[in-house]
Amino acid sequence: MSRSRLSRLRYTIMRPLVIWGGKAGDWLLARAAMSVIWFLRKLPPDQALDFAARAARRIGPWIGRHRTAVDNLRQAFPEKSEAEIEALALEMWDNMARLAAEYVFLDQLFDSNAHLSEDGRIEIVGEDLFRRLAAESKPHILFTAHLGNFELLPIAAAVHGLKVTALFRPPNNPYIADYILSTRRSTMGELLETRVGAAFALAGILEKGGNVGALVDQKFRNGIHTTFFGRPCETNPVVPMLARRFDCPLHPARCVRLPGNRYRLEIHEELKLPRGADGEIDIAASAQLLNDVVEDWVREDPGQWMWFHKRWGLTGRKRRSRPRTA
């Protein structure tokens, strides 16, 4: 038997085993996650969130991505000591654990029948702006970053009558993704999965006068070359492209985690995007402006951002500074 035929035979035999092994691993991980969720449900919300945060502070430094987080923090804050960097990394794990546990208690953390949760846990800055945007018969884009519990923002919008279709990226584990998707849909309204064609779907929503929300702080392969914390990175041009195509307002929004399992949700007036000599929105300059806004947020609360995310680095071919519209 030739080497090429032997290789094809091995591939034919092994591929189902690899696929089955991957699915089995995903299922086992999902079962473990569901067991943790079952345990957390037995506790009052504050106790559950604090327990998850304490566990994450112990486990986080043993996870491989902890090294990525520490390295990113060192480069972003060269003036900080090693002790300060490690403290921020632990705060990040604390925040991520609370975010995961908060999925279990979304209905209790935010009362969808009131402007604020009954216990005053959530403070909203820009409540009147939410109502004003809801009353306007034109499209809007809201953008945010992975800060605090960013999942509360579309809930706040819905409470104030502002229907927002949120763009999201599901976890790689399909079983966990199904759970999170069902939880999100029950509280956050319309969701659009990040995939090929998502930009056209968003354009269709805006064309009908709808509103969309997007996270803008993730690496995007073959995106626009920009900087973040002074380091080169690639940024998704879709949000500024849509803003240019529909000439619609772009509003920054963020969540700040406060002591005592409390939150401050903020929505701000329209961000004026830079325009070129032709009067149209400059896509590359606007992408950089979004990075600058997010960087300012992260500098205010560095322990509340996902530092283990591989945000930096350039890949692929060099892109034009003015890509085509969506």
Note the pLDDT of residue 187: 55
Choice among 26-40, 77-91, 150-164, 269-283 with the minimum mean pLDDT: 26-40
Q: In this model, does residue 324 exceed pLDDT 60?
A: no
Instruction: Give the pLDDT mean for 115-119.
Output: 51
Structure confidence at residue 199 (pLDDT) = 79
Q: What is the pLDDT of residue 315?
A: 62
Q: pLDDT at position 4, please?
A: 58
Higher pLDDT, 52 or 116: 52
No. of helices (H) and no. of strands (E), the chain: 11, 9
pLDDT per position as a tens digit, 34-52: 677 777 778 898 999 999 9
pLDDT band for position 155 (cuts 50, 70, 90)? confident
Taking only the tens place, the pLDDT of each residue in 188-238 is 556 666 666 677 888 999 999 999 999 999 888 888 999 999 999 999 999
Q: In what order do the strands lie in the sheet with 211-215?
A: 122-125, 262-267, 250-258, 140-144, 211-215, 164-168, 191-193
Beta strands 250-258; 140-144: pairing state = parallel
> What is the spatial distance between Cα 230 and Cα 234, in angstroms, rounded to a whole number?
13
pLDDT of 147 > 70? The answer is yes
- Every domain of the chain and the residues it spans: 1-42, 112-304
Tokens of 105: 């208690």
Pick the more confident residue, 183 or 132: 132
- The DSSP bridge partners found for residue 215 are 144
Q: Output the pLDDT for position 25.
A: 57
Cβ atoms of 202 and 242 closer than 8 Å: yes
State pLDDT tens for residues 246-269: 999 999 999 999 999 999 999 999
Task: Give the pLDDT confidence score for residue 242 in this predicted structure.
Answer: 96
Decide which of 271 and 165 is more confident.
271
**Mean pLDDT calculated for residue range 5-10:** 51
Least confident of 66-75, 105-114, 202-211: 105-114
Query: At residue 116, does pLDDT exceed 60?
Result: no
Mean per-residue pLDDT, 152-159:
88
Name the strand (E) or helix (H) holding 98.
Answer: helix 82-102
In this prediction, residue 256 carries a pLDDT of 97
Q: Residue 14 has what pLDDT?
A: 43
Nearest residue to 69 (alpha-carbon basis) of 309, 317, 233, 280: 309
- Mean pLDDT, the chain, rounded, equals 82
Q: What is the pLDDT of residues 285-307, one digit of tens each?
A: 999 999 999 999 999 999 999 99
